[in-house]
Amino acid sequence: MEKHHRPRSLTQKELAEIAAVGGEGLAGRGRLQGAIHVEGHTVELITTGKGTRSQVSFSLDVPHARGLHLEGWEVTVSGTIHKVSGFSGTITHATVIARPAAHHMPGEHLSVSGKIDDRRLVGPGGEAPPSGSYLVLVEPLIVGSSKVHDIFLEGRKFAQGKNVELYGRLEARSYGGVETGSHPYIALSGISDLGAGEPTFDGVQFHSAANQARLRALVVRRRDLFDAPNEIAVLDPAPRRAFLGSLGGHILPQTNPFHGFSAAADIAEPTEADRAAVVFNKEGNPIDVATGAELLKLGDEPPPPGADMFSHAFYFNEVTETLYSFVSGGFAGFSNRMESVIRFPAP
């Protein structure tokens, strides 16, 4: 049976590029703001330069009568966006929201700020809102048609009363429905603590909290074969930090694949003791000298273009929870020279 893959979520940077002149070829799910205009039988969203040679517009698959009703309105349109050229594109499965751009929708990735309120809640027949950390927002959010003052933090617990800035995906949830009526609430999934420098996940890629650079994620323990999330390490060279988290597993297609971070460690320079702790055998595989066990290879990174560039190889010692990177090549002629050591806290 043919698989239908859901388009990826576009980042805020990509959406800004799409809305302006440029961004040709970018595609994915997202929201754009602009003005509705009907040209013949085509309903368009104009995002910039209306009526000028720099006008950027998108054709929408919404009924013609709906477009005529909204002619000239400033709206938000969500759907599957494809920037066909620098000045035009399409939005399919389009939903037009005739509200200010400050409104948000479930499935959107964003940052939110507020104070932590740790709650232990009970209800009739056990039908209560989830217990745990809630974020009481500095400013309410409009999510869909509702004003939201607090958000449940899925999978993360923070100290009571702590002021935080978090990043994650908005989720529409509900509780009850058996002995009581069904009650909606809003949650945040795939949480990153921006104050702790944790990378953000936009639905496809991890980005540095320091400079928004795309980051490499290595699978440290592959568990999805057993329906559990994979344990991953996200490497952020700017602050020289690595973050341990979980991704994937046996989940529904609409579920956020990122489940958050659990630990962090410095990307450290190796000591002489570190270098002596690992040797390469004649097959070219790294061995832990203390145990004789072979390290687990996590991945390779080929050298970028240039005369004095290095290839990288990443290995993990599952006993000591240590991740190593080795470099080879360059004018120095390095062969599996240990470049960095990351010591994660014991589980």
Spell out the long-range contacts of 41-50 with Cβ–Cβ below 8 A and sequence spacing 24 or more: 43/67, 45/75, 45/77, 45/91, 47/18, 47/19, 47/20, 48/19, 48/20, 48/21, 49/21
pLDDT the model gives residue 99: 58
Looking at residues 323-337, what average pLDDT do you find? 85
Residue 2 above 60 pLDDT? no
pLDDT the model gives residue 334: 83
For residue 137, give both structure tokens: 């927002």
Distance CA 328, CA 317 (A): 20
Contact 173, 144 (CB under 8 A): no
The CATH number of domain 12-99, selected from 2.40.50, 3.40.50, 1.10.287, 2.60.40: 2.40.50
In degrees, to the nearest 5, what angle opens at C-alpha 125 toward C-alphas 120 and 131? 20
Residue 116 identity: I
Largest CA distance in the chain: 76
Give whole-number Cα distances, 100 to 93, 104, 148, 151, 275, in Å: 20, 10, 16, 21, 58
If you average pLDDT over every residue of the chain, what do you get?
88
Residue 191 above 80 pLDDT? yes
Residues 6 or more apart in contact with residue 105 via CB below 8 angstroms:
31, 78, 97, 143, 144, 170
Q: Is the pTM of this model over 0.85?
A: no
C-alpha closest to that of 324 among 347, 204, 289: 289
The CATH fold of domain 104-194: OB fold (Dihydrolipoamide Acetyltransferase, E2P) (2.40.50)
Q: DSSP class of residue 195?
A: G
pLDDT the model gives residue 182: 82
Contact 57, 47 (CB under 8 A): yes
- Please provide the distance, in angstroms rounded to a whole number, between the alpha carbons at the two ends of the chain: 41
In the chain, % of residues over pLDDT 70: 92
Contact 301, 310 (CB under 8 A): no
Contact 56, 35 (CB under 8 A): no
Contact 47, 15 (CB under 8 A): no
Residue 168 identity: G
C-alpha closest to that of 197 among 152, 164, 160: 164
Task: Read off the pLDDT of residues 220-270 as tens digits, 9 standing for 90 and up.
Answer: 988 766 778 999 999 999 999 999 999 998 887 778 999 999 999 999 999
Place of tokens 């980005």: 207
Question: Chain centroid to CA 196: how far?
Answer: 16
Contact 190, 168 (CB under 8 A): yes
C-alpha closest to that of 109 among 196, 183, 170: 170
Residues 6 or more apart in contact with residue 43 via CB below 8 angstroms:
36, 37, 59, 60, 62, 63, 64, 66, 67
pLDDT the model gives residue 159: 95
Residue 279 above 90 pLDDT? yes
What residues are paired with 37 via a beta bridge? 44
Task: Read off the pLDDT of residues 62-111 as tens digits, 9 standing for 90 and up.
Answer: 999 888 888 888 788 999 999 999 999 999 999 988 655 567 878 889 99
Task: Read off the pLDDT of residues 110-153 as tens digits, 9 standing for 90 and up.
Answer: 999 999 999 987 766 567 788 999 999 998 888 877 889 999 99
C-alpha closest to that of 190 among 138, 117, 112: 112
Rg (CA), the chain: 24
User: In 10 A of CB 335, how many CB atoms?
Assistant: 11
